[in-house]
C-alpha cells in the first residue's frame, strides 16, 4: 500500500510538472505574450504614466495595446483609441504628401524652393538661390536649430518663415547635418502652393481619409476627444502632468514638422502603407519609385546629431532619408524616426526586409524606453533574437542624466558667493528686443525681478552671481536657467542673454512694466 501511494505521488508529480512545463513552453514560445510581458515591465520600470505599442508584420497587425493611464493620478486608462502626439514622426507624412505632388508632375524634388516660395529667404542669398525642395526635408540647409521661433513665441507660420532670413548659418549648404523643424514648415508651404490646399487639409484629404484614419487630427487645436493622453514631465524626481493648452498648441505653428495626433487603431494603416510601397487595402498613395525615394539615403548623419543609442547598437552607417533616420542593425537596415514634444514621445520604426514595423507613443517627456521597445519588437517578431534593451538603455540614459546633474553642480561651484548685482534692481527693468528672438520684458514683482519672454515663458529671477540671475520658470516643465545682463561702457544695462539668445535693451522711453506690485 505504501509503495502504491509513493508510486501514485510520483506519477502525479510528473504529470503536474509536465503540465507546468507545457504551459511555460507555450507561454515562452508565444512572441506576443513574451513581448506584452516585456512592455508591461518596461512601462513600470521607466515610470511612464501611459503608453501604446503597435506592431504590424506582413500587412497584418500582430500586436496592439495600451498601457497605464492618460493622466497620472486619474483612473482613465490608455486604450487603442487614445490619442497621443505623433510629434516629429509627422515629418514622414509631410514628405509623402510632397511625393504625391511629384507623382502628379506638379513638383520635382530638385526644383529650387524659390520657384514656389519666391519671398522665402535664408541668411545667405547664395544659399537661398541654391536651396532645393529636397533640402527642406533632410536637415542639410546650414540653418541651425531655430525652434525658439515657435517654442518660445506665438507668431504666425508666415512670420516664422520671414524671420528665418535672420538666422546665421551654422555650416555651409549640404556640408553637414543639424536637425531642423522650420524647413518642414517651408515644405508644407510648398505643398500648399502646388496643391492649392493648406497642409492640414491636404494631409487629411490625401492620407487620413483614404487610410480610414478617422480619429487622427492634423493639429492639436483639432483634438477635442476626451480620450487623449496628457503630457507629463519629471522635475526633481517627481512626475507631473503639464496642464497647459498653450504649451501643447505651440507646435501647430510648424504643423508639417510635428503636429499630428493619432492612436493605434488609426496608425496601423499608415504603418502598413509605408511598408507596402505606399499601398493599403487596394488604394495606392504613391508610385513605387516615389515611395522608394522616401527611403533612399539622402545625407549622412553626424555622431553628434544621432541618438545616444548608437553607443550600444554600434551602427556602421547612419543616414537620413526623406523624413526617416536610418542605420544598420544586426546586419539589416532599419528606418525610424522619433517624435518629442514637451511631455510626449513617439517612435516609428521599420525592419523593411522582414515587412515589420513598430510604433510607440508615450506621455512622459523623453521616455527613451521607446527605443528599447522598438528594437525588442524587431528582435521578437522579426529576427528571433532576445536582448534586454530596456535595462541597457535605462543604464545608458541614467548615466547621461547623472552627467547632467554633475555638470549643473560644477556650474554651481563656479559661483562667487556673497556677490551683489552691479546696479539697483530697477536698472534691469525694461524691454529687451531682437528682430529674430522677439521680446523679453523684465519687471519688478514683490521686490524681485520677473521676466516674460514673448508672453510665453515667464518666471522670477533670483540673484546668483554678479549680474547673472537664475530664472525659475512658472512653467515648471522648463526648469531653471541662467539669465545674464551685460553692461555697456557707461555702466548701464545694454543686453540680456537667455538660452543662448541675446536681446538688446530698448531705450528708456520704450520700456514698460517698471512698477512694483
Residues 319 and 430 in one domain: no
User: Which of 200, 140, 179 lies closest to 340, judged by CA?
Assistant: 179
The answer to the question of residue 497 being in a domain is yes
421 grid coordinates: 548685482
**Contact criterion met (CB below 8 Å) for 244 and 475:** yes
The answer to the question of residue 414 being in a domain is no
What pLDDT is attached to residue 52?
A: 98
What pLDDT is attached to residue 510?
A: 52
Binned at pLDDT 50, 70 and 90, residue 9 comes out as very low
**Higher per-residue pLDDT: 407 or 271:** 271
Residues 172 and 244 in one domain: yes
What pLDDT is attached to residue 408?
A: 86
Could you give the 3-state DSSP secondary structure of residue 385?
A: coil
Question: Which of 8-17, 163-172, 336-345, 423-432 comes out lowest in average pLDDT?
Answer: 8-17
Domain boundary among 358, 374, 405: 405
What pLDDT is attached to residue 424?
A: 97
What is the domain-level CATH number for residue 116? Answer: 3.40.710.10
CA dihedral 483, 488, 493, 499 (to 10 degrees): -20
pLDDT for residue 6 is more than 70: no
pLDDT in tens, 125-143: 999 999 999 999 999 999 9
Alpha helix locations (H) across 221-327?
Answer: 245-249, 255-258, 264-275, 288-295, 310-313
Residues 362 and 447 in one domain: no
Kindly report the number of other CB atoms within 10 A of residue 273's CB atom.
Answer: 23
What is the domain-level CATH number for residue 446? Answer: 2.40.128.600
The answer to the question of residue 353 being in a domain is yes
pLDDT for residue 415 is more than 90: no
User: Which of 134, 131, 133, 167 lies closest to 149, judged by CA?
Assistant: 167
pLDDT in tens, 450-459: 999 999 999 9
pLDDT for residue 517 is more than 60: no
Residues 319 and 288 in one domain: yes
Binned at pLDDT 50, 70 and 90, residue 28 comes out as low
pLDDT for residue 4 is more than 80: no
Binned at pLDDT 50, 70 and 90, residue 26 comes out as very low
Could you give the 3-state DSSP secondary structure of residue 279?
A: strand
Treating both helix axes as pointing N-terminal to C-terminal, what angle do 182-195 and 91-103 enclose, rounded to 10 degrees?
A: 30
Q: What is the pTM of this model?
A: 0.91
pLDDT for residue 288 is more than 90: yes
pLDDT for residue 344 is more than 50: yes
**Contact criterion met (CB below 8 Å) for 95 and 137:** yes
Mean pLDDT of 339-349: 98
Residues 398 and 438 in one domain: no
**Higher per-residue pLDDT: 465 or 412:** 465
Range of the domain at 174: 31-405
Residues 206 and 84 in one domain: yes
The answer to the question of residue 6 being in a domain is no
Alpha helix locations (H) across 104-206?
Answer: 125-130, 148-151, 157-163, 182-195, 199-203
pLDDT in tens, 432-484: 999 999 999 999 999 999 999 999 999 999 999 999 999 999 999 999 999 99
Mean pLDDT of 358-371: 97
The answer to the question of residue 442 being in a domain is yes
CA separation for the pair 507, 486 (Å, rounded): 15
122 grid coordinates: 535664408
Residues 130 and 185 in one domain: yes
192 grid coordinates: 500648399
CA separation for the pair 175, 156 (Å, rounded): 30
The answer to the question of residue 181 being in a domain is yes
Residues 288 and 361 in one domain: yes
Number of structural domains, the chain? 2
The answer to the question of residue 246 being in a domain is yes
Residues 257 and 326 in one domain: yes
Residues 443 and 390 in one domain: no
pLDDT for residue 511 is more than 80: no
Residues 202 and 277 in one domain: yes
Residues 333 and 445 in one domain: no
User: Which of 496, 512, 346 lies closest to 444, judged by CA?
Assistant: 512
The answer to the question of residue 48 being in a domain is yes
Mean pLDDT of 279-284: 93
pLDDT in tens, 485-510: 999 999 999 999 998 899 999 987 55
pLDDT for residue 340 is more than 90: yes
Average pLDDT, rounded, for the chain: 92
What pLDDT is attached to residue 24?
A: 35
pLDDT for residue 232 is more than 60: yes
260 grid coordinates: 499630428
Binned at pLDDT 50, 70 and 90, residue 514 comes out as very low
pLDDT in tens, 143-198: 998 999 999 999 999 999 999 999 999 999 999 999 999 999 999 999 999 999 99
Amino acid at each position: 500500500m505504501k509503495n502504491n501511494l509513493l508510486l501514485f505521488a510520483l506519477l502525479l508529480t510528473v504529470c503536474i510538472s509536465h503540465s507546468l512545463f507545457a504551459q511555460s513552453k507555450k507561454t515562452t514560445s508565444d512572441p506576443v505574450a513574451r513581448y506584452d510581458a516585456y512592455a508591461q515591465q518596461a512601462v513600470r520600470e521607466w515610470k511612464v504614466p501611459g503608453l501604446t505599442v503597435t506592431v504590424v508584420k506582413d500587412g497584418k497587425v500582430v500586436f496592439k495595446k495600451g498601457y497605464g493611464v492618460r493622466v497620472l493620478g486619474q483612473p482613465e486608462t490608455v486604450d487603442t483609441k487614445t490619442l497621443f502626439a505623433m510629434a516629429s514622426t509627422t515629418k514622414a507624412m509631410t514628405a509623402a504628401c510632397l511625393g504625391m505632388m511629384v507623382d502628379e508632375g506638379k513638383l520635382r524634388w530638385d526644383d529650387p524652393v524659390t520657384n514656389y516660395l519666391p519671398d522665402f529667404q535664408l541668411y545667405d542669398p547664395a544659399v537661398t538661390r541654391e536651396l532645393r525642395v529636397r533640402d527642406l526635408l533632410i536637415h542639410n540647409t546650414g540653418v541651425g536649430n531655430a525652434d525658439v521661433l515657435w517654442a518660445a513665441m506665438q507668431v504666425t507660420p508666415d512670420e516664422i518663415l520671414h524671420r528665418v532670413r535672420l538666422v546665421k548659418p551654422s555650416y555651409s549648404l549640404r556640408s553637414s547635418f543639424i536637425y531642423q523643424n522650420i524647413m518642414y514648415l517651408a515644405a508644407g508651404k510648398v505643398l500648399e502652393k502646388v496643391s492649392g490646399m493648406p497642409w492640414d487639409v491636404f494631409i487629411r484629404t490625401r492620407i487620413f481619409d483614404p487610410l480610414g484614419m478617422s480619429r487622427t487630427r492634423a493639429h492639436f487645436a483639432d483634438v477635442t476627444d476626451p480620450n487623449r493622453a496628457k503630457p507629463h514631465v519629471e522635475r526633481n524626481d517627481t512626475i507631473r502632468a503639464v496642464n497647459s493648452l498653450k504649451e501643447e498648441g505651440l507646435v501647430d505653428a510648424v504643423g508639417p514638422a510635428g503636429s499630428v495626433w493619432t492612436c493605434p487603431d488609426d496608425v496601423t494603416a499608415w504603418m502598413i502603407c509605408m511598408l507596402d510601397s505606399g499601398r493599403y487595402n487596394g488604394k495606392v498613395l504613391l508610385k513605387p519609385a516615389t515611395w522608394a525615394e522616401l527611403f533612399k539615403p539622402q545625407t549622412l548623419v553626424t555622431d553628434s546629431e544621432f541618438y545616444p543609442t548608437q553607443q550600444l547598437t554600434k551602427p556602421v552607417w547612419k543616414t537620413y532619408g526623406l523624413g526617416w533616420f536610418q542605420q544598420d542593425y544586426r546586419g539589416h537596415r532599419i528606418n525610424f524616426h522619433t517624435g518629442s514634444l514637451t511631455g510626449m514621445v513617439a517612435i516609428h520604426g521599420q525592419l523593411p526586409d522582414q515587412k515589420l514595423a513598430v510604433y510607440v507613443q508615450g506621455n512622459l517627456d523623453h521616455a527613451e524606453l521607446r527605443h528599447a521597445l522598438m528594437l525588442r519588437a524587431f528582435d521578437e517578431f522579426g529576427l528571433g533574437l532576445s536582448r534586454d534593451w530596456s535595462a541597457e538603455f535605462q543604464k545608458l540614459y541614467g548615466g547621461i542624466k547623472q552627467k547632467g546633474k554633475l555638470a549643473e553642480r560644477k556650474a554651481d561651484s563656479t559661483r562667487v558667493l556673497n556677490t551683489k548685482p552691479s546696479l539697483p534692481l530697477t536698472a534691469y527693468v525694461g524691454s529687451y528686443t531682437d528682430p529674430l528672438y522677439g521680446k523679453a520684458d523684465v519687471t519688478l514683482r514683490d521686490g524681485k525681478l520677473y521676466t516674460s519672454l514673448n508672453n510665453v515663458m515667464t518666471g522670477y529671477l533670483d540673484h546668483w552671481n554678479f549680474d547673472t540671475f537664475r530664472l525659475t520658470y512658472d512653467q515648471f516643465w522648463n526648469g531653471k536657467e541662467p539669465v545674464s545682463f551685460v553692461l555697456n561702457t557707461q555702466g548701464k544695462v545694454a543686453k540680456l542673454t537667455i538660452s543662448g539668445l541675446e536681446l538688446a535693451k530698448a531705450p528708456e522711453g520704450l520700456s514698460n512694466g517698471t512698477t512694483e506690485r
